[in-house]
């Protein structure tokens, strides 16, 4: 998963863009980058690390211009340490284009061949985002062969591009001496919102971003979500125009955004994430009542921080005491991912410190947002047992994650998922819990639709194995299980 931001304003954009990227830092902590534009001049700085580590005050001083795009990144597979695959990407023909992308293309292999051998454009890395950048550049070139560069030519290029792309994508791009372009895949899998701010001189600044939380933190008002298949153009003069650039768009927002990815102060598709997570706790409590009516629970404790709203709601629904049982050391959250179980144990122990009096001699219900590999869950349960817990029940606000995610979530292939081909009792044994309790998928959908009943569908393939783009076969999934590069 990644976070993207694009801004058009009437004053230098560098510090504003930097602050906006900090607002989506939770969506990507492996690499970061900023690009700005001053007329037909473009400036770029990107690299490995957090935005504060990649962009210095010196860098800000030469990132000139009133238009900018930025990106923070988690790779969906491979390439984690390659600085060349940090965004934004740049091509100099036609016009000069900078592009940043959140998501994952599922037809990268075919698209790369087309770009190289039919579009005659060179691709330097294995990144699907660089392939996307060159495919966009080619379509823009085709739409302007006999025409001036204008909004209609850009919309036509995106219409053609949407016919070539498969997968999930939200994109921000700058075209030299023209303006900012943003567009979203026809299923709306990855989120993208539009915001505006009225400046002191009554001019209007616009921002496109992955989440509304960064609009709030920079003084922008949320206008709306960018629609599936929609493209938005904001010229250097601040004029905005939008158009649906796909014949059959239909919203299928990634449901994992509401479980884990999005920040709780964001609003996605008119659903406050905080309310959705509270509702997840409500439905999880109903599951416990229905299937485990005699379960003796002395205390409900969240695994901080994302599971907290669900845990509070669950405890209230069951009438069971809620307590904070872990102190989280946020200073170690951004350390490199452990390479073996011993390193993982040390990392988790240094990240979470138990408050022993909340565990000692108690039947503890631990609530987490999800269970993926099960390795973190196992280490957390060990900490709780060492703190004196009598019985540990582990509840997941998300359903069983059994299938590979292919649309842009940093998640292992299906063969590394603890719930793949295991019963609940086998999962409980694997993570060291006395009992494991999962959210029901239909209840997860209800937790969102009860807030916005107009959402027609969800992308929930990691839970149900239904890949809505209809291009994922066993060969593709097996290539992921075998460690093939796909992002």
Measured distance CA(404)–CA(415) in Å, rounded: 8
Greatest alpha-carbon span in the chain:
78
Q: Residue 90: enclosing H or E segment and its boundaries?
A: strand 89-91
Please give the structure tokens belonging to residue 195.
Answer: 């915001």
Question: How far from 164 is each of 46, 115, 158, 219, 376, CA to CA, in Å?
Answer: 28, 11, 10, 37, 39
Q: Which is catalytic among the residues 2, 213, 245, 254?
A: 2
Instruction: Could you list the beta-strand ranges (E) of 401-445.
Output: 435-438
Q: Is 331 helix (H, G, I), strand (E, B) or coil?
A: helix
Answer whether 427's CB lies under 8 Å from 371's CB. yes
Q: Is 171 helix (H, G, I), strand (E, B) or coil?
A: strand
2 given a catalytic annotation:
yes
Q: Which of 472, 419, 469, 463 is nearest to 445 (CA)?
A: 463
Measured distance CA(403)–CA(391) in Å, rounded: 30
Query: How many angstroms from the chain centroid is the CA of residue 226?
Result: 16
Q: What share of the chain is helix, strand, coil (3-state, %, to 5)?
A: 35, 25, 40
Measured distance CA(51)–CA(471) in Å, rounded: 35
The residues annotated as belonging to the active site are: 2
């Amino acid at each position: 998963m990644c976070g993207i931001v694009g801004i058009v304003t009437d004053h230098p954009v560098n510090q504003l863009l930097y602050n906006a990227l900090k607002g989506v830092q939770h969506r990507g902590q492996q690499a970061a980058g900023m690009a700005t534009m001053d007329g037909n001049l473009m400036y770029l700085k990107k690299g490995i690390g957090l935005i504060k580590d990649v962009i210095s005050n010196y860098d800000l001083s030469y990132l000139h211009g009133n238009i900018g795009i930025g990106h923070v990144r988690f790779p969906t597979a491979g390439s984690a340490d390659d600085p060349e695959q940090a965004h934004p990407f740049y091509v100099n023909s036609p016009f000069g284009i900078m592009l940043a992308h959140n998501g994952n293309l599922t037809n990268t292999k075919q698209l790369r061949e087309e770009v190289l051998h039919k579009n005659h454009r060179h691709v330097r890395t294995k990144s699907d985002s660089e392939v996307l950048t060159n495919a966009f550049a080619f379509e823009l070139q085709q739409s302007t062969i006999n025409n001036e560069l204008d909004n209609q030519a850009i919309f036509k290029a995106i219409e053609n591009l949407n016919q070539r792309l498969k997968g999930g994508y939200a994109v921000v791009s700058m075209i030299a001496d023209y303006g900012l372009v943003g567009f979203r895949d026809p299923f709306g899998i990855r989120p993208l919102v539009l915001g505006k701010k009225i400046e002191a001189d009554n001019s209007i600044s616009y921002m496109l971003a992955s989440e509304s939380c960064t609009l709030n933190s920079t003084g922008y008002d949320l206008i709306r979500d960018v629609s599936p298949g929609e493209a938005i153009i904001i010229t250097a003069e601040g004029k905005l125009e939008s158009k649906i650039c796909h014949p059959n768009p239909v919203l299928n927002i990634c449901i994992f955004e509401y479980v884990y990815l999005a920040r709780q102060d964001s609003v996605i598709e008119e659903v406050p994430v905080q309310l959705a997570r509270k509702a997840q706790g409500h439905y999880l409590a109903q599951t416990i009542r229905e299937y485990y009516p005699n379960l003796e629970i002395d205390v409900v404790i969240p695994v901080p921080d994302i599971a907290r709203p669900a845990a509070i709601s669950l405890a209230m629904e069951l009438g069971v005491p809620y307590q904070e049982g872990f102190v989280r050391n946020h200073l170690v959250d951004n350390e490199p991912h452990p390479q073996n179980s011993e390193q993982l144990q040390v990392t988790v122990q240094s990240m979470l410190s138990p408050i022993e009096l909340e565990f000692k001699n108690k039947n503890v219900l631990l609530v987490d947002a999800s269970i993926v590999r099960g390795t973190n869950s196992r280490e957390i349960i060990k900490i709780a047992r060492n703190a004196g817990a009598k019985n540990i029940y582990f509840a997941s606000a998300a359903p069983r994650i059994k299938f590979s995610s292919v649309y842009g979530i940093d998640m292992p292939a299906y063969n590394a998922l603890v719930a793949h081909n295991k019963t609940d009792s086998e999962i409980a044994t694997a993570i060291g819990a006395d009992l494991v309790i999962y959210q029901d998928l239909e209840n997860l959908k209800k937790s969102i639709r009860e807030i916005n009943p107009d959402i027609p569908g969800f992308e929930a393939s990691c839970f149900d194995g239904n890949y809505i783009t209809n291009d994922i076969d066993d060969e593709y999934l097996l290539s992921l299980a075998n460690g093939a590069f796909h992002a």
